[in-house]
Structure 1
């Protein structure tokens, strides 16, 4: 790693970046195809929620252990093995589909395996980047990786829709499998040559987990950063994701308008990543994170009161844009202040904070809407609670607030 070397000349990072882009493109195509297969072919849209839970629950449960493993094994090896196993799962699913054996039960099992493997892939890749990129380039590297993968969730469904128009599910499933296979080849360990973890004394997974939690709890940087990500995912990201279909339905909208809302949010997060790549901010990042946290909740509260689609799309894009200025600088600040032998565990806790609380938000909002509260009132409540918690967090975290 040369400090002044541009990212595009860092072969290890470029391979990991291309691997992340291709695997996310494959995943986004796969999940749209599965969703449409359930709704259109199996004619059972109610099962879609069960399949999404089958993905998220094993992912959340195993995420922390994935971080422990990332501190003990070569990270590229973990990525290579998990991707290779996902390719095998895709081949099995294509075989089931071609023979007309693909059922709801088999889809739930496949989704659960994907979620299980995901729990090992992402702690490995997020803890690997600091080991192959110098600190001076870390902010740009994180932003480029995050922004590119976010963009794949816009491009992937579009490609899958075109393939389903000109062909059938065999085409989209095969396309997803090929992309995941390419990702597997790109992270072949001899190509990446990321460092091997130092040998440590053999301990139980529980002891390693306790050490990781203690490490995060005792550090003001890790503690405030993790709580910031928890708050924004529990009270903004999760509520927005589940509110889109409910909001469009309440306003008498169409599936196209739903896609505009989802696309607007994705575009906002992507543009923020591009800005961070260009900007490569290094000063007053703590204030930027906390300021963005508070502004995000103000935007959500305004969003909850709007009735016109163009303004809703604009506000959700702006919210996604500002929210990324909470997530991206926080991740980089945590990585910069983490011992290399604990990166896997720390980043798995960050990943857990980023994705593990969204299902809780899904459940809370579904419960409140079922209790006859309209979705806009629920969003306003969540925004107000999140704003209060953000102010408390800012007040209670002077060290993080004043960090560069």
Structure 2
């Protein structure tokens, strides 16, 4: 799934653009109010007009870090310094010494804040120090008023710069986490597909080869070796020694004792996808989930579904049908060929629920964890993984001697708001 890029920097650039405009209005209004007190108002007017044009023309630059380049930042800072150093030239000495506001006034803080957002606290410290020195030069001495302003600007700008560095690091970490999450989900999807197709076919070839004997037995032994190696790879143990063992002792065991276990656990013919389940891949409109469940009905499988269609997005219907097929396949493998299964489809206002129950011997405690470590991902990926990606949950309840029930739940909100393809929590 594509995640939208999260940017904490963009709102700050927009806020800085607004600050520059408001600071310009303040500086211009303050100058107009005191213009008669200036010694050379014509020079001050020229600077204020130039400052206004510069601010308005450079507004597009204040929209992103890419547009606000380092040469532009230096030029912007020079405009502020020019106004500060021009103030004692156009204003009277008495007003300058008395602490009158410089021509750019608060606008001079804008370039410093731009340095902070663009380059972090070090750039902010350098820019604020330059502006502070220029204010001391303009006043001709160090006074309590300008020291207060300089220190305030220094702390505010460096603080914003530090926050920006932390925010960028957090944004990068979040982006990396989203990439890892996406890659993990893709691996899980591939693991489901492999489990539902390749591994089951290899197990079937191994069993049939052992039954036929002769050259077919050798083919079955090789299929068993590849199954064990592929299970180790899917389980993520190939790089930690699992794959090595699969290629040596694991492959040998596959042909002997391991092959027997594989044949007993996985070699039965898997539940085949129905024509309806295949056709749904080409659908673009809502699909009736009940129509995908009914082909599973047979002598040992009972399907109960509402009379009205249970309409779902094609992807959600297909994944639910595949999860039910995986549950029925587990019934065939582990509960035995004589076990019966019941499928119940419930269409509720808040969620769609599908239950698959059997009358087999149940699952012993710890069996699912052992199966996942062995690379048998029928429950963890083919069932729970699919429901998690739909935004739903899969709960498995098993009592020894009383059978097993798998309950699949998909909230309507996940199907409508996110198309049934977003991840949510999984009940384990």
Question: What TM-score, normalized to structure 2?
Answer: 0.22
Q: Higher strand share goes to which structure?
A: 2
Structure number with the bigger relative contact order (C-alpha 8 A, sep ≥ 6) is 1
Larger CA Rg, structure 1 vs 2: 2
TM-score under structure 1 normalisation? Answer: 0.22
